[in-house]
A = this chain, B = another copy of it.
Amino acid sequence: MRKKRKLSRGVALVGAGMSQFGMFRDRDSKDLFLEAFRAMTASVDKGLDPADIDAFYLGNYSNDFFVRQSHWGAILSDTLGLVPRPATRTEGACASSALAFREGVFAIASGFYDAVLVGGVEDMSKGATEVVAEGLGMAAIPYEREVGFTFPGVFGTIATAYFDKFGASREHLMNVTIKSHDNAARNPKAQLSATLEEVMAAKKKRAESKGRPVPDWPDPKAFLGDPKANPVVAWPIHLFDCCPISDGACCLLLVGEEMARNFTDDPLYVAGIGQASGRGLHASEDLTTFEATRYAAREAFDMAGIAADEVQFAEVHDCFSIAELLHIEDLGFFPAGQGYKAVEEGQTRLDGSKPINTSGGLKCKGHPVGATGAAQIFEVWTQLRGEAGERQVPGHPRLGAAQNLGGTGGTSTVTVLERR
């Protein structure tokens, strides 16, 4: 099975933009996608004539269900004035727009197109909570839903298995959450753009203004350990271990490698891509690893001709805090069972040896599911181009990766971008 994959034509990333992530009562998928498209267009250093775009790939998980409208490729193609250019939607649960990115890469590498718009969008906050819960549950493998699993339930089970096998505890999940908030506070487009200290201060102020007893939290771990402030969702998963419900969009522009410098003097190159399927929790012999992520990582790193060690920073799929621990191990950044220690030691912080989820991750940046894969790549773009401001990874990194998970491990993708 293990082949070294290659593309017959190199592909470059020359533009990237994302919308604000959040819950927006008054903005739909068209509004959000247009915001991301405009930001992407503005990011193309030497300018972009939309007429140069040959085709459009859109990642969307299930606006069908969330807002009762499908066929968003065609709709957004019209919104952007791209008609008659072809539009294709991809879906792989929460990995939907990582799949769109791959198809954009293939379409260019095939020689058929030269410039492809890739994007992702999801509009999750308009429906009732029950609609969102049912809509997300559909991404799990049927056997899991039939026995009553929800996503927090699945990841709670995984966390329990991880704790049992490796001796980790809930406190180690808190370390992930604290880091995510620290990073997101430096990301103006993040949905939860605040450190936990800021969250605590705001809650204290609010209690004070309402004349309620002001909570006494000496530090973030005390706050996260307070069952009123951070209630349990599915043990050991608590509220602050979970990503929020989000609306948002992201846009990327891919072109044939040989044309990249027509668009910018600082292009990024697609060094490696990997994707795999998994059977889901029900068929997993070891709940502390995602086989699909391991497989996708090997494929992507082999293609790039690198070892995991050489990846300088990464966005990984932290739908729940425990998922970040599994993925940094499955990606080979840390040995199995050592990820939680690496986080505890600060290795995954902005100033650590392997910064993880510098954007704030799904946990704090937000997780509009169909936009997430593209938005992870947007963060890698931002870091590699040195445009991440207060959250910039130091030392002019040259290699960054993004890992996107769909469902309970049914789909996983890894993308490696390189600045040459």
Residues of chain A at the chain B interface (Cβ within 8 Å): 1, 5-9, 51, 55-56, 60-62, 64-65, 68-71, 73-75, 77-78, 82-93, 99, 102-103, 105-107, 109-113, 134-135, 138-142, 145, 273, 275-280, 283, 291-292, 295-296, 406-407, 410-411, 413
Contacts and interface: CB of A to CB of B under 8 A. Distances in A.
Given A74-B406, A78-B279, A90 B92 contact: no
Contacts of A71: 91-93, 138-141, 406-407, 410-411
Give the top 3 A-B pairs by smallest Cβ distance, nearest first.
Answer: A74-B410, A8-B111, A109-B110
A137 to B, nearest CB: 9
A170 to B, nearest CB: 29
A124 to B, nearest CB: 14
A28 to B, nearest CB: 9
Nearest to A70: B138
Contacts of A141: 71, 74-75, 78
A292 B71 CA distance: 15
A360 to B, nearest CB: 26
Interface-central residue, A103, A106, A145, by most chain B CB under 10 Å: A106
Given A71-B93, A88-B103, 11 more contacts: A8-B9, A55-B275, A64-B64, A71-B410, A73-B410, A73-B411, A74-B406, A75-B410, A78-B141, A83-B292, A89-B91
Interface-central residue, A75, A135, A275, by most chain B CB under 10 Å: A75
Given A91-B91, A276-B84, A277-B87, A106 B99 contact: no
B93 A74 contact: yes
Contacts of A277: 56, 73-74, 77-78, 82-87
Contact of A8 (B1, B8, B78): B8
Contacts of A273: 112
Nearest to A63: B138
A169 to B, nearest CB: 31
Contacts of A278: 74, 83-84
28 contacts: A8-B111, A55-B275, A61-B70, A62-B64, A64-B64, A65-B65, A68-B138, A71-B140, A71-B141, A73-B92, A73-B410, A74-B280, A74-B410, A77-B410, A78-B277, A78-B280, A83-B276, A84-B276, A84-B278, A84-B295, A86-B277, A88-B99, A89-B92, A90-B91, A91-B91, A105-B110, A106-B110, A112-B273
